[in-house]
């Protein structure tokens, strides 16, 4: 039975308690792990969140599975609070749902992604939206 990407995205988001950028910022100050899954070209063009862990999407599950030999030091167990973000909050919803599949049920994503973070005036470095990259 085929499903559309909109159906898959809606199902993923139904499993998440998504957070606004200001909530993600507050949680990061309290120890949540912010994870930027955007490719390098997007980070260069849009900017970055200081202190966010960069884990490109294609290796996310291996880096956060506590049983993986390729896990990051932050992958200390299934109770880690991971807040994933992409550019606009679509891919990050799918990624956070995938972390749920691994048992990281506290994983979520940022509504609106990095662009919403930047628009909220939260700390960011690098190119601003629409600015040329030098």
Mean pLDDT of the chain: 94
Q: Which residues contact 89 (CB under 8 A, 6 or more apart)?
A: 18, 109, 110, 111, 112, 113, 116
Domains of the chain: 25-119 (3.40.250.10)
Cα–Cα nearest to 56, from 41, 45, 69, 74: 41
Residue 3 has a pLDDT of 94
pLDDT band (50, 70, 90) for residue 108? very high
Q: In whole angstroms, what is the distance from residue 109 CA to residue 31 CA?
A: 15
What is the pTM assigned to this prediction? 0.92
pLDDT in tens, 51-96: 999 999 999 999 999 999 999 999 999 999 999 999 999 999 999 9
What pLDDT, on the 0 to 100 scale, is given for residue 127? 78
């Amino acid at each position: 039975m085929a499903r559309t990407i909109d159906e898959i995205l809606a199902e993923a988001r139904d499993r998440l308690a998504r957070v606004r950028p200001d909530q993600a910022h507050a949680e990061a100050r309290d120890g949540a792990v912010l994870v930027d899954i955007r490719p390098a070209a997007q980070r260069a063009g849009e900017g970055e969140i200081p202190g966010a862990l960069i884990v490109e999407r294609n290796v996310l599950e291996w880096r956060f599975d506590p049983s993986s030999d390729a896990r990051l030091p932050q992958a200390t167990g299934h109770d880690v609070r991971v807040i994933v973000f992409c550019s606009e909050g679509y891919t990050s919803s799918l990624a956070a749902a995938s972390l749920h599949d691994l048992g990281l049920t506290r994983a979520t994503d940022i509504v609106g992604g990095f662009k919403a973070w930047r628009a909220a005036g939260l700390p960011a470095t690098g190119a601003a939206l629409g600015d040329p990259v030098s």
